[in-house]
Chain A
């Protein structure tokens, strides 16, 4: 009775795959692959992709250009008229005279416009005492 010997891969000499290639197969393989590409064809990058950056830059500039008038109008509306401009306008650019202006004022505004400095009575008396001409003019 024969005992079948167990096959052990590690005990065997290295077993090759046994595959062969036709003679000079690898000498011609490169040429065969390169023939499949059009000569000197670079890796294709679509026109859109290539111009994408330029298109985006132009779009950004257009948006900025469109925003300039909006920005200007917003900034103009927000700015308050300064007093000198208003005074000059009222003085030289309109037909308003001082009576028209006074009629537009309220009593409260007018009272605010009274001279702030008041002359002391004693000072007036001193001036009148010192200057005889004024006394003469007042009596007349």
Chain B
């Protein structure tokens, strides 16, 4: 925590800011990319959202109050950016978020940046039937292997509610895969 406070000071100091921000990019680009990619599914979209996320992080750094960990705060920005991006994209295409997600999953087979097999594709289709919150919880727990405490800090939901959410998500996914 002390180290994080020191790092935040470096990020806010104009003299050390550039170096600190490079370090921030180096450490967080991969986990944040994976998080965003799991939400938007497509590499080009994930790239756009990830860039926007770091721009926002840089812009709002001076407002960061240190109430949560820097990691959780950045994840929260990334999640909001990804969801906002999907809403805007579905509006532009004149379709619902669910339709957009199904369309993107259908395109995965032809995506050069997706090398999933049949079961992986089926898993993505199963996730798409879940409500938005359950999708987020499942992806963060199953693919990103985040602890419930961390997910709780990012999504602002209690650990108990997250466990229940994950449990329901698993049951629905299992039922979907079994039936299909």
Contact surface of A with B, Cβ cutoff 8 Å: 4-9, 12, 15-22, 25-26, 29-30, 32-34, 36-37, 40, 42-43, 45
A43 touches which one: B14, B25, B51, B143 (CB < 8 A)? B14
Q: Does B33 contact A (CB under 8 A)?
A: yes
Interface centre among A22, A29, A33, A34 (most CB of B within 10 A): A33
Q: Does B75 contact A (CB under 8 A)?
A: no
Q: Is the Cβ of A17 less than 8 Å from the Cβ of B29?
A: no
A34 touches which one: B12, B22, B112, B173 (CB < 8 A)? B22
Q: Can you offer 27 A-B residue contacts whose CB atoms are under 8 A?
A: A7-B177, A7-B178, A12-B119, A15-B120, A17-B37, A17-B38, A17-B120, A17-B143, A18-B108, A18-B114, A18-B116, A18-B117, A19-B34, A19-B37, A19-B38, A19-B41, A19-B114, A22-B43, A22-B113, A29-B29, A29-B47, A30-B22, A33-B25, A33-B51, A36-B51, A37-B58, A40-B18
Q: Is the Cβ of B30 less than 8 Å from the Cβ of A6?
A: no
- Quote the shortest CB–CB distance from A121 to chain B (angstroms): 98
B62: chain A residues at CB < 8 Å are 43, 45
Q: Main SS of chain A's interface residues?
A: loop
B58: chain A residues at CB < 8 Å are 37, 43
Q: Is the Cβ of B178 less than 8 Å from the Cβ of A9?
A: no
Q: CB-CB contacts of B103-145 with A at 8 A, as 1s and 0s?
A: 0000010001111110111011000000000000000001100
Q: CB-CB contacts of B136-180 with A at 8 A, as 1s and 0s?
A: 000000110000000000000000000000000010011001100
- Quote the shortest CB–CB distance from B82 to chain A (angstroms): 14
Q: Does B49 contact A (CB under 8 A)?
A: no
B173 touches which one: A4, A9, A22, A37 (CB < 8 A)? A9
Q: Is the Cβ of B43 less than 8 Å from the Cβ of A43?
A: no
Q: Does B54 contact A (CB under 8 A)?
A: yes
Q: In the complex, given contacts A6-B174, A9-B170, A30-B26, what are 17 additional A-B residue pairs having Cβ atoms less than 8 angstroms apart? A: A5-B178, A15-B119, A15-B120, A16-B116, A16-B120, A17-B37, A17-B38, A18-B115, A18-B116, A18-B124, A22-B113, A25-B47, A29-B29, A29-B33, A30-B25, A40-B18, A45-B62
Q: Name B45-92 residues within 8 Å CB distance of A.
A: 47, 50-51, 54-55, 58, 61-62
- Given A9-B173, A33-B25, is A20 in contact with B14 using a C-beta cutoff of 8 Å? no
